[in-house]
A and B are shown apart, each in its own frame.
Chain A
Amino acid sequence: MKTYALEMMLATLMVTCGLTLVWQGDTFAMAHYGMMRHYIDERPGGGFLMLIGIVRWYAIIRNGGSGYRPLLRIGGCCIGCGFWLTLAITVEATLLLATKTLTGPPLLLAVAGTAAIFEIYAATKGAADANREDSLGLRAARSKVGRNGSC
């Protein structure tokens, strides 16, 4: 599977979620965001999400030819996965605390959970690109030939 389109979709989701939080109004006013409200403010959190999404756009569009962009992609996947997992779990936990019974999973759990899984998958492909471009410099450090420039 070509993951660039997948990563672009996930990055765009982060940007649109960030935009939604930054937009006028109180998104976290809804009851099932009760737990999220304790840990994240809407405007700074939304701005942070948008920034990460835009950095991911840049890393994906300008991929190739430079070592550090796969590392940016992997970092974006880490933050994205953490965000989606937080969204999925805290919403479910809030509902459980409020109702004391599992009345049925919310759709957000399915969407955010799936996004978290695909972030993990995208990270493996980002790491494969990092290996191909030697982003960590491990191959150059190990290779005596590379250091001496004799080949």
Chain B
Amino acid sequence: MGAAEWAPLLGVLLTCIAAIFGYRQSERHRERELANEIAAARRPTLNVIGGAIASQEGTKLYVEEFQRLIHAIDRLTAAFSVSAEAQTAGSERWRKTVDELERIRRAMEDVASAAERIRREERAEREGH
């Protein structure tokens, strides 16, 4: 095989290897950015919720809902950090990660519904008095 035959093949091969490398680097970078965004959003969100809870101090139900929300956010952060590994481990772990995220999202929706129910009950109590 002459130089003019293997030279273009070598060029294409090297470029494909570089492209695969660039693709995977970008994927890992994206996952890290997502995890950092969630971690960065977590602190202000918890501060706001903590402030709201503090004003309702002594109401056990609020504290329980707050704890559920914290657990949900922690699991969401962990799921995103796992997903980068999951993609390299195979599609089965990725599917489990997505399922976990769906469960967390449903848990957060339950928390939001519970908070709304509590607000309606309080409003009804105030209007009753």
Contacts and interface: CB of A to CB of B under 8 A. Distances in A.
B15 interface: yes
B55 interface: no
A127 interface: yes
23 contacts: A38-B2, A39-B5, A81-B14, A81-B15, A88-B7, A89-B4, A90-B4, A116-B11, A123-B18, A123-B22, A124-B22, A127-B18, A127-B20, A127-B22, A127-B23, A128-B26, A130-B19, A132-B26, A143-B98, A144-B95, A145-B102, A150-B102, A151-B105
A121 B15 CA distance: 8
Contact of A82 (B3, B8, B18, B27): B8
A131 B30 CA distance: 9
A39 B18 contact: no
Given A36-B4, A142-B94, A144-B95, A84 B19 contact: no
Interface residues of A, number: 37
A55 interface: no
Contacts of A35: 2-4
A124 B8 contact: no
Contacts of A123: 15-16, 18-19, 22
A60 to B, nearest CB: 16
Interface residues of B, number: 32
Contacts of B10: 82, 85
Leading 3 A-B pairs by shortest Cβ distance: A124-B22, A82-B8, A82-B11
Interface of A: 35-36, 38-39, 74, 77-79, 81-86, 88-90, 93, 116, 119-121, 123-128, 130-132, 142-145, 150-151
B30 A132 contact: yes
B99 interface: yes
B15 A78 contact: yes
Given A77-B19, A144-B98, A144-B99, A124 B7 contact: no
